[in-house]
Amino acid sequence: MNQAHHHPRSLQGDRELSLSVEVFPPASVDARDRLIAGLALAAPAYVSVTYGAGGTTRDRTVDVVRRLMCETPLEVAAHLTCVSASRRDVDDMVRRYREDGIRRIVALRGDPPGGLEVAYVAHPRGYQRTADLVAGILGIGDFDVSVAAYPEKHPQSPDLAADIDTLEAKVDAGARRAITQFFFENQTYFAFFERVRRRAIEVPIVPGILPVVNLERVMSFAARCGASVPAWLVRRFEGLDGDEEARTRVGVEIAAAQIAELAEAGVGAFHIYCLNRPELVSAIRDRLAGASPAVAAA
């Protein structure tokens, strides 16, 4: 996979891999029910459900979270953003999560309504930054809070050092782990991990893994969030435009190889951005099963 094999001295986790998954709340009831059934079959370690900026998918997010909790044995993490929302609205949502029995929250700033090309402006009566949001959540309940990390730098950070300052503030506020933006070169993760540990940030840094099935869509995501797509990956999809089965197989192979190399270096937990295709998690697990340590569902 053209990836350098520089491994840090020690990463997190033991040898049993945990595969969790991120999904977004579907717009239709049929799609929601299919997603929930697929997640129950895939049995990830836990499911995180996204939440549109300013709560634009709030009711759908709550609906999916509640149904997952009622209809499956899966553990659920609910996302929460503070962009375009007052502190009161955000705090009300945290209390709603607490009443629903949610114990895990993924706390995110959220993108400005116009996208990342537009400067972020905090809501005048809202949380000013994600670290404040983390502190606010933990002031309401004893939640397990995860935050985001950006191995290639958040597009709106001046540099990686400033970005790591932001991560440090989120961890100091009480975040228990950071989940990374997706990346395709493991060396990117290893270099970031070393920088984070040199700053004495000791929480787990969980790699975010994006299985590529639709290359064009991934290129668009990557351009928006500042992630790089290497030439070797683009080449793997040449000539496969009309063959979704082949594209899926290649995407699963690449993701499984990426996870296997990270696991060999000692990483124990992975968060898979499955784009509402939980069967990809099962396929990745099956592919890993022959060549790596036991892959756990929890």
For the chain, which residues make up each domain, given as ranges?
Answer: 17-296
DSSP 147-180: EEE-TT--TTSSSHHHHHHHHHHHHHTT--EEEE
Q: Tokens 């129950």 label which residue?
A: 40
Q: What is the pLDDT of residues 209-252, one digit of tens each?
A: 999 999 999 999 898 888 999 999 999 999 999 899 999 999 99
One-letter amino acid of 182: F
Q: For 183-246, give the DSSP string.
A: -S-HHHHHHHHHHHHHTT--S-EEEEE---S-HHHHHHHHHHHT----HHHHHHTTT-TT-HHH
Q: Which CATH number fits domain 17-296: 3.30.1600.10, 1.10.1500.10, 3.40.50.2300, 3.20.20.220?
A: 3.20.20.220
* pLDDT tens digit sequence for 272-290: 999 999 999 999 999 998 7
Q: Is the pLDDT of residue 8 over 80?
A: no
Q: Answer yes or no: is pLDDT of 155 > 80.
A: no
Instruction: Please report which confidence band the pLDDT of residue 122 belongs to, taking 50, 70 and 90 as the band edges.
Output: low
12-40 pLDDT, tens digit each: 444 578 999 999 999 999 999 999 999 99
What pLDDT band is residue 105 in, cutting at 50, 70 and 90?
very high
Check pLDDT > 70 for residue 133.
yes
Cα gap 57→297, rounded to integer Å: 28
pLDDT confidence bin for 168, thresholds 50/70/90? very high
Res. 170: pLDDT tops 50: yes
Token pair, residue 248, equals 């899926």
CA quadruple 13, 18, 19, 24: dihedral, nearest 10: -90
b/e map 65-76, b = 16+ CB within 10 Å: beebbeebebbb
- Catalytic annotation present for 22: yes
How many helical (H) and strand (E) elements, i.e. helices and strands, does the chain have?
A: 10, 9
- Confidence check: pLDDT of 120 > 70: no
**Cβ(133)–Cβ(127) under 8 Å?**
yes
Q: Give per-residue pLDDT as tens, 241-262.
A: 989 999 999 999 999 999 999 9
Distance CA 244, CA 293 (A): 29
What percent of the chain is predicted at pLDDT more than 90? 72
The answer to whether the CB of 64 falls within 8 A of the CB of 23 is yes
The per-residue pLDDT for 289 is: 87
pLDDT at 7 over 70: no
- Please, what is the average pLDDT of the chain? 87
pLDDT of residue 119: 56
Residue 183 has pLDDT above 50, yes or no: yes
Q: State the Cα–Cα distance between residues 105 and 143, nearest whole angstrom.
A: 7
Residue 242, amino acid: G
Confidence of residue 111 (pLDDT cuts 50, 70, 90): low
Active-site residue, from 16, 22, 71, 253: 22
Q: What is the pLDDT of residue 123?
A: 66
